[in-house]
Amino acid sequence: MSDELRLYDHTFEATPGDHMDRLDVFLVRKFPGYSRSNLARQIKEGRVAVNGRTGKKIRPGLRIENGDVVQVALGQRTEPYARPEPIPLRILHEDAWLLLIDKPPGLTVHPGAGESGGTLANALAYHFGQLSRVQGPLRPGIVHRLDKDTSGVILVAKDDQTHHALATQFRERTVKKEYLAVVKGIVELDADLISAPLGPDRRHPTMMAVRLDIGRASETYYEVHERLRGATWVRCFPRTGRTHQIRVHMASIRHPIISDHVYRGILRALRPICPRQALHARRITFRHPHSGEMLTVEYPVPDDIHALIEHLR
């Protein structure tokens, strides 16, 4: 199905955290599915108004001030909408505005390099049809990601307004997430905060690494849940949301996640029990954008990680 519909109009009010940001940078945060150059072009085409003003003075480099009202009427997208595919989904919570799903391991979140189908986005298109388009038509409803081989709770927005409200909570770090992981070795400390900036690995651009030079600030707090034979079951609470964050942070303290073939977590004897990285997004807590109530949704340890823990006890 091609995406030939005009997207909804949007109105945002700049907050103190947006003060003196460029207009195009402000919009990239609101529409992460669009490139900065695409949004800059739409600004130049007059599709963006600031405090009701349009025209030549509304430029991509215009500095936003606290309280500015930015109105956006995005142009048509030519990319095809995610192809509907009858992939089964386990729904943990659903209401008129959002849903939470238990993503199984091995399921990629959205189409990308080398994968045009068989993703969560394709499943969402089949089961729910039209969802939020903030991330673009190939990522309907996708508010945040989980790695392909990470299982657990993932949040999906049904409409753009809900998506923006949820994205603001992620950006302001008020969304609380808990992950369960089984890592190599016996972790000495009962709890600790790993604060190490992350950026692309110098030698392997698809990997992340601790980068003191160009890395973005990243923090993961962990607690030991149980010490096992040659391994440790930990609870991880990421305070930031960088790519591969928990995996890289645990590897950086010499306790990579078991069966993580990218970050040195392979133990051949354990691969038949849990062939994928032993990482599970157990719980998420956030404020519902419409009711204002705090909502917590969780899903217990899946069978493969449970079997691994029992084997290591």
pLDDT single digits (tens) 270-287: 989 999 999 999 999 999
CATH class of the domain comprising 90-171: alpha beta
Q: Residue 201, exposed/middle/buried by CB under 10 A (0-12, 13-18, 19+)?
A: middle
Identify whether 3 is a catalytic site residue: no
pLDDT of residue 6: 46
* Domain boundaries of the chain, sorted by first residue: 9-73, 90-171, 176-312
CATH number given to 9-73: 3.10.290.10
Q: Within 10 A of 254 (CB to CB), how many other CB atoms are there?
A: 11
Q: On the CB side of 41, how many CA atoms lie within 13 Å of its CA?
A: 8
Strand partners, 90: 102
Q: Residue 313: exposed, middle, or buried by beta-carbon count in 10 A (0-12, 13-18, 19+)? A: exposed
Distance, CA of 25 to CA of 100 (rounded, Å): 29
Beta bridge partners of 296: 285
From the list 18, 147, 149, 160, the catalytic residue is: 147
Do the domains 9-73 and 176-312 sit in the same CATH topology, yes or no?
no
**pLDDT band at 42; cut points 50, 70, 90:** confident
Per-residue pLDDT band at 81 (split at 50, 70, 90): confident
pLDDT grade for 185, boundaries at 50, 70 and 90: very high
Architecture of domain 176-312: 2-Layer Sandwich (3.30)
d(CA 221, CA 246): 9
Dmax (CA) for the chain in angstroms is 68
Question: For 4-19, how does the pLDDT look when each residue is reduced to its tens digit (9 = 90+)?
Answer: 344 547 888 998 888 8
pLDDT at 134: 85
Residue 56 has pLDDT above 70, yes or no: yes
Q: What are the helix (H) ranges across the chain? A: 23-30, 36-44, 120-128, 160-171, 245-252, 303-312
pLDDT at residue 112 in the model: 75
